[in-house]
């Protein structure tokens, strides 16, 4: 039995008729770019998050970038984020002309360490982007307390955290804006590229609506230099079919995570920690192990689909060499990157498949025991 890393076909099978009908409705009405399907999805996604507004955009990168632009971030500004994230978080900062400044992550939650954040703030800091990595929210209480003391807005990168909560607050609803990606493999995924920003600010909502549509305040009247950052009607229609099933799908991910924790309790692997205040939605189930690359190779040979999120922290990427960071700049992020191994995680995973993954992982760990250490 092979175990895939993710199986989107299986996920879509039971919804196939509804999805086909939803796409046909968009085709029949020719509402392809923006339009009524996007407007309906925006209302429904805002309600799901418990936010007053959602603004549909082209993808998660647009959501982050347009949020920063709407907040007035530009050349000369610094924006603090973590090096343990997908490249898009930093790219969004760079594409405003601002400078990404990194702060290290916490060793057990893999999210922004508030103590490191505090140290990274300078008079040029104009925004903070905590990343809710793998589906668990960063320590928003501590981050917001620091941010408000310094009068700096917070943009949540919730691209991996649809439906995650902290102390009852949904991911994306605590910052000035919350940014989501609906890339197909996400907990809520489109049939292509899509994203959204949620906010409680009517001013930011209006700014974002203008910026995502070529800076138009009305047709062919451009108050700003914006961008083509609209959401497609077909993606909105697909997302409207899938959204009502998101909570159940997240609950299944959580049940799978519980079983992984239980079965891996006696293995020399560090399993994810869900903190007391958090409701983790396990977009990724990443363990930390020694000899990671060898074990990944063995698991792949055994037919277990695994991933690494992410092998190189952003401050060590060649693209960001000019920022002047080096090996040792962010020891926690670097240690995590060397040990992270993402195991199969998707709602339709079966108990048997999880047992097989764990058996195989334990066999591999035992085989590499002489050098193995918990990363
Ligand atoms: C943490 C994080 N931020 C931003 C993005 C960018 O989203 P998109 O790929 O939709 O542009 C992603 C998507 O992979 C992500 O995981």
pLDDT per residue of the chain (375 residues) written in tens, 0 to 9: 799 999 999 999 999 999 999 999 999 999 999 899 999 999 999 999 999 999 999 999 999 999 999 999 999 999 999 999 999 999 999 999 999 999 999 999 999 999 999 999 999 999 999 999 999 999 999 999 999 999 999 999 999 999 999 999 999 999 999 999 999 999 999 999 999 999 999 999 999 999 999 999 899 999 999 999 999 999 999 999 999 999 999 999 999 999 999 999 999 999 999 999 999 999 999 999 999 999 999 999 999 999 999 999 999 999 999 999 999 999 999 999 999 999 999 999 999 999 999 999 999 999 875 444 445
CA of 314 to the centre of ligand 1 (A): 14
138's tokens: 């960063």
| pLDDT score of 369 | 58
CA of 179 to the centre of ligand 1 (A): 9
Strands (E), 258-327: 278-279, 285-288
CA dihedral of 237, 238, 241, 244, whole degrees rounded to 10 = -110
CB of 131 within 6 A of ligand 1: the answer is yes
Give dist(CA 347, CA 163) in Å, integer.
14
- Sign for the CA dihedral angle at 285, 288, 290, 291 comes to positive
Residue nearest to atom 8 of ligand 1 (CA): 60
Residue nearest to atom 12 of ligand 1 (CA): 159
CB of 60 within 6 A of ligand 1: the answer is yes
Which of 269, 275, 237 is closest to 364 using CA atoms? 269
The ligand 1 atom at the shortest distance from the C-alpha of residue 132 is 1
CB of 235 within 6 A of ligand 1: the answer is no
239's tokens: 């997302």
Alpha helices in 50-86 (DSSP H): 60-70
Is the whole-model pTM more than 0.85?
A: yes
CA of 292 to the centre of ligand 1 (A): 24
Alpha helices in the chain (DSSP H): 8-12, 16-29, 36-49, 60-70, 87-94, 114-120, 140-150, 202-211, 233-242, 246-264, 292-301, 331-339, 351-367
CA of 265 to the centre of ligand 1 (A): 31
| pLDDT score of 291 | 95
CA dihedral of 151, 155, 156, 160, whole degrees rounded to 10 = -160
CA of 136 to the centre of ligand 1 (A): 15
Of 67, 81, 88, the residue with max ligand 1 atoms within 8 A of its CB, to mutate for a pocket test, comes to 88
Of 87, 181, 229, the residue with max ligand 1 atoms within 8 A of its CB, to mutate for a pocket test, comes to 181
CB of 67 within 6 A of ligand 1: the answer is no
Give dist(CA 24, CA 27) in Å, integer.
5
CA of 86 to the centre of ligand 1 (A): 6
CB of 56 within 6 A of ligand 1: the answer is no
Give dist(CA 236, CA 144) in Å, integer.
31
CA of 267 to the centre of ligand 1 (A): 31
């Amino acid at each position: 039995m092979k175990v895939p890393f993710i199986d989107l076909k299986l996920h879509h099978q039971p919804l196939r008729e509804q999805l086909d009908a939803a796409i046909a409705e968009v085709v029949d009405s020719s509402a392809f770019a923006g339009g009524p399907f996007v407007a309906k999805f925006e209302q429904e996604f805002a309600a799901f998050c418990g936010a007053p507004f959602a603004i549909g955009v082209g993808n998660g990168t647009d959501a982050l970038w347009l949020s920063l632009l709407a907040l007035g971030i530009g050349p000369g500004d610094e924006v603090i984020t973590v090096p343990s994230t997908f490249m898009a978080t930093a790219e969004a900062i760079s594409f405003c002309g601002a400078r990404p400044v990194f702060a290290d992550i916490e060793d057990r939650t893999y999210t922004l360490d508030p103590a490191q954040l505090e140290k990274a703030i300078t008079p040029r800091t104009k925004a903070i982007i905590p990343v809710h990595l793998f589906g668990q929210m960063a320590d928003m209480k501590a981050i917001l307390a620091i941010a408000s003391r310094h009068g700096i807005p917070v943009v949540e990168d919730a691209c991996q955290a649809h439906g995650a909560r902290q102390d009852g607050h949904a991911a994306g609803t605590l910052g000035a804006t919350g940014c989501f990606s609906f890339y197909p493999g996400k907990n809520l995924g489109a049939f292509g590229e899509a994203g959204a920003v949620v906010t409680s600010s009517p001013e930011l909502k209006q700014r974002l609506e203008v910026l995502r549509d070529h800076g138009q305040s009305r047709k062919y009247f451009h108050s700003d230099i914006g961008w083509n950052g609209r959401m497609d009607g077909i993606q909105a229609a697909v997302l409207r079919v899938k959204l009502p099933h998101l909570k159940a799908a997240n609950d299944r991910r959580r049940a799978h995570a519980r079983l992984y924790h239980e079965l891996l309790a006696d293995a020399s692997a560090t399993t994810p920690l869900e903190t007391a205040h958090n409701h983790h939605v396990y977009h990724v189930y990443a363990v930390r192990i020694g000899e990671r690359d060898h074990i990944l190779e063995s698991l792949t040979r055994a037919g277990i689909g695994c991933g690494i999120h992410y092998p190189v922290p952003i401050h060590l990427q060649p693209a960001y060499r000019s920022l002047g960071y080096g090996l040792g700049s962010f020891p926690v992020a670097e240690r995590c990157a060397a040990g992270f191994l993402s195991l199969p995680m998707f709602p339709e995973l079966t108990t048997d498949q999880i047992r097989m993954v764990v058996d195989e992982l334990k066999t591999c760990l035992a085989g590499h025991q002489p050098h193995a250490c918990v990363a």
